[in-house]
Chain A
Amino acid sequence: MAKTLFDKIWEKHVVKNIEGGPSVFYIDTHFIHEVTSPQAFKGLEKRGLQVFRPKQVVATADHNVPTLNQHLPIKEELSRLQVQTLQDNCKKFGIELYGLGHPYQGIVHVIGPELGITQPGMTIVCGDSHTSTHGAFGTIAFGIGTSEVEMVLATQCLMQSKPKLMRINVDGELNKGVVSKDIILYIISKISASGATGYAVEYAGSAIRNLSMEARMTICNMSIEMGARCGMIAPDQTTFDYIKGREFAPKGDAWDNAVAEWQTLYSDADAKFDVELNIKAEDIEPMITYGTNPGMGIGVTGHIPALTEIDEKEKVSYQKSLNYMGLEPGADIKGRKVDYVFIGSCTNSRIEDLRMVASFVKGKKKADDVEVWVVPGSKQVEKQAIEEGINKIFEEAGFILRQPGCSACLGMNEDKIPAGKYCISTSNRNFEGRQGPNARTFLASPLTAAVAAVTGKVGDVREFI
């Protein structure tokens, strides 16, 4: 019988099917970080358990770390304690930790792929919803809660129900100035912040095939923003070329065997999906969000929907959202003043993102009344940016290149956007208070963020290139 990519990986990881219930589902790789793991380790200790497969767990500190002066002790006491707790737990349970100061430290969804830990055909979980990022390599990868983190630490398994399957085909040529972030913001704006809930989503089509691995990661990363259980892309030569030679990639004969296996990971020609969507790449323009969920996105030349365009039942939520944002229904988004620019997060903090921004701002200066934070996704990205002289370009433009971490994506560490201020952000969520209490977020691509950095306004990158 014809199988989907998801089916092929799923079937290889089911330990047992339970009648009328979920399956016992085996997890190959488990990433952990400081915020969602301490209670799980506590649970293990309470039950007197060890970590079942410590070699299949990888840890880093990312959410709650400062992005300046990382060599100094963390100032905030609770944050320091949480990072210390991760360190203690990893030591006690024999888990590899790429913590602060380690050359591999960084955002968990950046370091997994860049170290070659993430490989096609795997099942991957992490106590973080953006675990869907790893699906770009043809994996089943999804976020879990802390109770589930405890289950995986204790047994390397989870109770999982098989989701429905959706395929989204993006075919054709992208317009100039349109990048992978725009593709995913466009998709979410079409199907809404809950449009893929209950589904595993496979992205396919020529426009997806033509993307680099880092661009594919941006797309899979935001699958959760439309509610998807996971997002995935079948591995191909682009995938293999990216993985080859990385620290934990298979070597020698093991490499050849791995690639042979990986080449079987695709949806068969006549495989059935519960839902299939087709999108023309040509229809996508540079995107930006105007509201307080990632589904509230429009092209930069578009207008914020008028109240007459909103379903009666959704009007209260819609008006609440625009009140929070300080925006009027029906207004244009282009030309809106921006106070902060944040380039970073597990969505867009990789070297290609930084190169994209650097190529745009080279020789230009930031607008006077804008503050620009660039936060690399990992120590390795930071190192590469310095080696390539990207840090110099940023310095000359007046940008601040900070140190790796989740930073202003989630308003947890020191990097917060002040109340009432507008931030154009390459991150993944524009929820109320996400970047700090009463902060206002416009989600966009690194290119659109770069335009705002230079002009101080929401602009159309196509007018500049």
Chain B
Amino acid sequence: MSKSINIVESTVVPINIENIDTDQIIPARFLKATSRDGFGKNLFRDWRFENDDENNPKKDFVLNNPTFKGKVLVAAKNFGCGSSREHAAWAIKDYGFDVVVSSFFADIFKNNALNNFLLPVTVSEDFLQQIFDAVQKDADTEIEVNLENQYIRIVSTGAQESFDINSYKKTCLLNGYDDIDYLLSMKGEIEAFETKKN
């Protein structure tokens, strides 16, 4: 897993579908592994392949269309709803994406993404539509995502929007810090809290 993230400039893979749940991102039957690696090959498994057959890709699905590639996945609202499986974030990251753009993310997915240095960028419905339109017109459309300055830009049109992220998480992502490192540094305070609580 590559740690720390700041500026990503890339073409995009668009999936203009709402409510993409984590069962679509990685079906449960692929959750039997005991390591974090290798989930990318089963990303969107049942949308990608006919009858679960890797030799039989569904031609109309975007991941099977060589026109669309890049490090930025763009999807319609309520992305990552459903199961808490972090395997969904692992699969997206392992496939090669660094950023997911949507107008709305499910809570648990968003946390899981952040914990894996996969940046979820929430944009307005209008801006999301602008991205879909731009990519529809020209598949080579590039998107620039700048975490430090908190903006996302469609390079060809110059359209730009700022996005929110809490400052703690931003620092973590920019510097490659994990929550767990921070929590471990709090052990003394946690023990004191326990004593007081009981």
Contacts and interface: CB of A to CB of B under 8 A. Distances in A.
B147 to A, nearest CB: 15
A172 interface: no
A39 interface: yes
A129 B166 contact: no
Contacts of A62: none
A154 interface: yes
Interface size class of A (residues with CB under 8 A): 35 or more
Contacts of B58: none
Nearest to B36: A39
A227 B31 CA distance: 22
B179 interface: yes
Contacts of B111: 144-145, 148
B34 A129 contact: no
Interface stretch (B3-11, B22-30, B91-99, B148-156): B22-30
B58 to A, nearest CB: 12
Interface string B35-56: 1100000000010000110000
B17 A431 contact: no
B82 A18 contact: no
B187 interface: yes
A127 interface: yes
A12 B197 CA distance: 8
Contacts of B116: 147
Contacts of A115: none
Contacts of A85: 34
A81 interface: yes
Contact of A39 (B24, B34, B180): B34
Given A21-B169, A411-B27, A157 B186 contact: yes
Contact of B168 (A64, A159, A198): A159
A383 interface: no
Contacts of A129: 82-84, 108
B17 A317 contact: yes
Interface in A425-443: 429, 431-434, 437-438
Nearest to A150: B180
B84 A144 contact: yes
A431 B23 contact: yes
A73 interface: no
A320 B76 CA distance: 14
A38 interface: yes
A433 B46 contact: yes
Given A145-B111, A156-B190, A20 B34 contact: no
A224 to B, nearest CB: 8
Most B CB contacts (10 A, CB to CB) among A43, A144, A227 go to: A227
A67 to B, nearest CB: 15
Contacts of A38: 34-35
A349 interface: no
Contacts of B186: 15-16, 24, 155, 157
Nearest to B47: A432
B19 to A, nearest CB: 5
A26 B52 CA distance: 42
Given A20-B168, A26-B197, A320-B17, A227 B183 contact: no
Given A81-B32, A159-B183, A419-B51, 4 more contacts: A145-B89, A145-B108, A429-B21, A429-B83
23 contacts: A20-B168, A24-B183, A36-B85, A42-B34, A43-B180, A79-B32, A145-B112, A146-B86, A146-B87, A154-B183, A155-B186, A158-B179, A158-B183, A159-B183, A197-B78, A293-B19, A293-B81, A410-B83, A412-B29, A412-B31, A433-B24, A437-B51, A437-B52
Interface of B: 16-19, 21, 23-24, 27-29, 31-36, 46, 51-52, 76-78, 81-87, 89, 104, 106-108, 111-112, 115-116, 125, 166-169, 178-180, 182-184, 186-187, 189-190, 193-194, 197
Top 5 closest pairs, chain A to chain B, by CB: A21-B168, A145-B86, A20-B167, A38-B34, A412-B28
